[in-house]
Structure 1
Amino acid sequence: MAENSPASASNTLFSRLRVLDASSYIAGPAAAAILADFGADVIKVEPPGTGDPYRQVHLSAGNPPCEIAYSWQMDNRNKRSLALDLAAPEGMAVFHRLLRDADVLILNTPLKSRKKLGLAYDDLKALNPRLIYASFSAYGEEGPEAERSGFDHTALWARTGLMDTIRPAPDAPPSRVALGMGDHISAITLFASIMTALYRREVTGEGASVKSNLMANGLWCNSVQVQAMLAGAEYDYRPARETADNALHNLYRTSDDRWFHLVLLPEQKRWPDLLTVIEREELQQDIRFATMAARHAHAGELIEILDAIFLSRDMAYWQQRLDAKNIPFGAVHRLRDIPEDIQANASGALTPLYGLEGKADRTVNSPLWIDGVTKRPACRAPELGEHSIQLLEEIGFSEKDIEKLMAAGIVETCSKQA
């Protein structure tokens, strides 16, 4: 437990669940973080020396510069770290001892490497028949590209048409995405797979291998558009904002250079209310906008009118007026607006983070809650090998055995030991 944190949630939902998180980067570790949020004892197994490369990803060009490894802290909170060389026979022997008492193993090691290391499900299930083996890959584990490596940007966004679908205009290049967007969606899927298998184990007493992958999650995210293609629909790129097909489902700018997305649904019912908000009731009689079909046919002209109106006042003004008529719209928040978002804080979507006092005081919460179940307080992510000695002692290694493993470089520890 990290410094200055509340007492551990020993009576939380998963307090008797042990999880080995031997995955790297984002989707696997984020799924493990959700399990940890609900009290699971999550052991982060990572290689000595550098550890999970995700520890350093915040330093990559294009990510917000910061001295805190913010992405690592978010997705590895409430875990214990064991720095263990799985490529060495002695390291694999330690891993096998851990595995015998584990409930869940999370892996995203490339399939070829798993076979080479002896980490495939068939290699491990005899050691623990009740084990839930959670496997995550880029393109799935069957088919000609099963062994192909991939990341969120390539396998989820690019491969599934998402990058192409969300381009802002037909002549614009495919949209670039920020780090981890698809990975965190995929983490929810992997978490759901694990929970389904755990429920099955309660019924049958048997463990199982469960699988998910980036490509499948991308297709699921883009499933409405993909299903249209499967049904033989014609596809055209979305027009630019200024020439959108529907002026009442569109983005608008205010005088203080903020944007909001108007969604006037149901349109026929809310159209008079919008005219009251913008004080242009006479447009109700304009033949170009008298019916829904007419408004869509003259969408470009209506966009021009609304552009001028919304640009005349600031966001606060329009928010008050739109809210008063209960008209659906969404202010486009900038990233720097999020920390002070009253609703995000009040709803628990942002939650306190302990152990990094003076550096970071909150983190993004996992997006699910169960009435009557308390989540474990979010505590800082571990240093590399911070719990190595503690964990080896728990599974019966003597002080002399531990010293030998450390001397051989099989296990690594750090000065900050739990």
Structure 2
Amino acid sequence: MDTKKILDGVKVAELSTFVAAPSCARTLAEWGADVIKIESLKGDAGRVFGQNYKTPTEEEENPLFETNNANKKSICINIKTPKGKEALYKILEKSDVFVTNVRSASLKKEGLDYETLKQKFPGLICGHILGYGENGKDRDKAGFDYTAYFARGGVMGPLMEKGSSPINPAVGFGDNQAGLFLTAGICAALYKKAKTGMGERITVSLYHTGVYDSDLMVAATKYLSDKDKWPMTRTAPSSPLINSYKCKDGIWLEICIQEYNRYLVPFCKAIGREDLIANEKFDNVTHASAHAQEMTAIIQDEIAKKDFNDWNTRFRAADLAFEKIQSWDDILNDPQAWENDILREIHYENGHTGVLVNSPIKFQDMGLPELKPAPRLGADTDAVMKDLGYSEEEITQLKLEKSIGGMQRLKV
């Protein structure tokens, strides 16, 4: 079997923080790219943001940073000094791809905007994560997935239970979506470069990603009456067979029967209510939608009579689409996640064991990518600088001038 990695030989320079852009660069690294993570002398703020979620942020154990920065090298450069900028340009000169989430105005100020870089390095591919896009008054507004993706992108509000409070967003959810979209764009640009030798600029915004992830419902909204628009309540869904129900043991399950007319009979048989099949209120999807609240209450009464395991057996036998609504604790103990390499263990230097989620994109011949721990801050500064042609004396002097930084501990 050919185990050569898909992106062997591709060189990536990453100047980014937090999650979205780093997650893109991590995927490229897993696929074989040589990724140099360029950090300020203080380091990526993503090294310490885990403290907001009560997880370790030590160099020896930092799971939230590890998740998006495995398999990379780290170099510390002060790009605001002339010599620091010179070192950065040397890295970019040797790179195929530049990944960043620095705001557009700041990139232009530092001479790192695409038009400037294109003149210097015409073959460079620039992948840029934005908050709100390139145009409009909010093009340089600060944006995280909580705000640009979940809130403004139309994910948070419509998905809450009608009349209740907004959902609590999962950190990194929108970031990871945007990161994978950027990865796809970069791979397409690498194909272009292989054919023409020319670079490209790819942009992905968190706001656009949120809207895109809801594209079916955005399109549908134009046709919905006010009473049918989201948010909705689960007690009166569009279809009673696309809804969540609570079992006797307190476990919630989600049913998704898109072909109502086809599966009404096996569903009613599974819940022991064959009398519903011929009921003119529920005998087809149009009638059921008009009487959704009544049918939902009937189904909930039946589901509440048995534990989830009972329904698991019945619904599987009927070949219905359903699932237990799992917690993250459930996922950590889900054999399906482990047997499909969705999860993997990571062993930290302090003896602790953590769990990381693998990329959902798999290659048959390449197999499961090797996992190398995320680099400590500035761990590869000396090696990268020597590769760029700097002598040990020059490296020492640049450190004294604070144009670059070596391996150091990030203060929290």
Same fold at TM > 0.5: yes
CA contact (8 A) 1:190 1:211 kept: yes
Please state if 1:107 is matched with 2:66.
no
1:313-345 deviations in Å (ceiling 9; x for gaps)? 211111111111111012100111111211111
Please state if 1:320 is matched with 2:306.
no
Do the aligned partners of residues 183 and 101 (structure 1) sit closer, same or farther apart at CA in structure 2, a change above 3 Å counting? same
| Whole-Å separation in 2 of the counterparts to 1:269 and 1:26 | 43
Mapping for residues 12-411 of structure 1, pairs under 5 Å: 12-49=5-42, 51-60=43-52, 63-66=53-56, 68-169=61-162, 171-229=163-221, 234-235=225-226, 236-353=229-346, 358-411=351-404
Q: Which amino acid aligns with 1:95?
A: L
| Whole-Å separation in 2 of the counterparts to 1:90 and 1:234 | 61
CA shift at 1:57, angstroms? 0.9
| Whole-Å separation in 1 of the counterparts to 2:68 and 2:349 | 15
Q: Which amino acid aligns with 1:150?
A: G
Q: Which amino acid aligns with 1:251?
A: S
| Whole-Å separation in 2 of the counterparts to 1:238 and 1:406 | 55
> Which sits farther off after the overlay, 141-150 or 350-359?
350-359
Give the corresponding residue for 1:5.
none
Secondary structure of 1:42's aligned partner: strand
CA contact (8 A) 2:23 2:69 kept: yes
Do the aligned partners of residues 358 and 233 (structure 1) sit closer, same or farther apart at CA in structure 2, a change above 3 Å counting? same
CA shift at 1:197, angstroms? 0.9
Do the aligned partners of residues 283 and 44 (structure 1) sit closer, same or farther apart at CA in structure 2, a change above 3 Å counting? same
CA contact (8 A) 1:76 1:382 kept: yes
CA shift at 1:258, angstroms? 0.9
CA contact (8 A) 2:18 2:46 kept: yes
Q: Which amino acid aligns with 1:339?
A: L
CA shift at 1:245, angstroms? 3.2
Do the aligned partners of residues 232 and 312 (structure 1) sit closer, same or farther apart at CA in structure 2, a change above 3 Å counting? closer
Secondary structure of 2:168's aligned partner: coil
| Whole-Å separation in 2 of the counterparts to 1:247 and 1:80 | 52
CA contact (8 A) 1:353 1:377 kept: no
| Whole-Å separation in 1 of the counterparts to 2:158 and 2:281 | 30
1:234-293 deviations in Å (ceiling 9; x for gaps)? 452343112223221110011221111111232122112122222222333444333433
Do the aligned partners of residues 59 and 155 (structure 1) sit closer, same or farther apart at CA in structure 2, a change above 3 Å counting? same
CA shift at 1:159, angstroms? 1.6
Do the aligned partners of residues 228 and 307 (structure 1) sit closer, same or farther apart at CA in structure 2, a change above 3 Å counting? closer
| Whole-Å separation in 2 of the counterparts to 1:10 and 1:45 | 29
Per the normalisation by structure 2, the TM-score is 0.92
| Whole-Å separation in 1 of the counterparts to 2:403 and 2:299 | 66
1:211-251 deviations in Å (ceiling 9; x for gaps)? 1111111111121222235x565452343112223221110
| Whole-Å separation in 2 of the counterparts to 1:240 and 1:233 | 15
Do the aligned partners of residues 72 and 226 (structure 1) sit closer, same or farther apart at CA in structure 2, a change above 3 Å counting? same
Do the aligned partners of residues 245 and 350 (structure 1) sit closer, same or farther apart at CA in structure 2, a change above 3 Å counting? same
Q: CA RMSD in A?
A: 2.1
| Whole-Å separation in 1 of the counterparts to 2:387 and 2:110 | 24
Do the aligned partners of residues 293 and 126 (structure 1) sit closer, same or farther apart at CA in structure 2, a change above 3 Å counting? closer
Matched residue count: 403
> Which sits farther off after the overlay, 295-304 or 314-323?
295-304
CA contact (8 A) 1:353 1:379 kept: no
CA contact (8 A) 2:131 2:141 kept: yes
Secondary structure of 2:277's aligned partner: helix
Unaligned runs of at least 5 residues, structure 1: 1-8
| Whole-Å separation in 1 of the counterparts to 2:367 and 2:72 | 17
CA contact (8 A) 1:12 1:375 kept: no
1:339-385 deviations in Å (ceiling 9; x for gaps)? 12111111122134355573234311111112212343122111100
Do the aligned partners of residues 341 and 281 (structure 1) sit closer, same or farther apart at CA in structure 2, a change above 3 Å counting? same
CA shift at 1:386, angstroms? 0.8
Q: Which amino acid aligns with 1:13?
A: I
Do the aligned partners of residues 357 and 317 (structure 1) sit closer, same or farther apart at CA in structure 2, a change above 3 Å counting? farther
CA contact (8 A) 1:238 1:244 kept: no
1:84-139 deviations in Å (ceiling 9; x for gaps)? 11111111111111111101001111122112211112222233221101112111
Matched-pair identity in %: 27
CA contact (8 A) 1:38 1:374 kept: no
Secondary structure of 1:305's aligned partner: helix
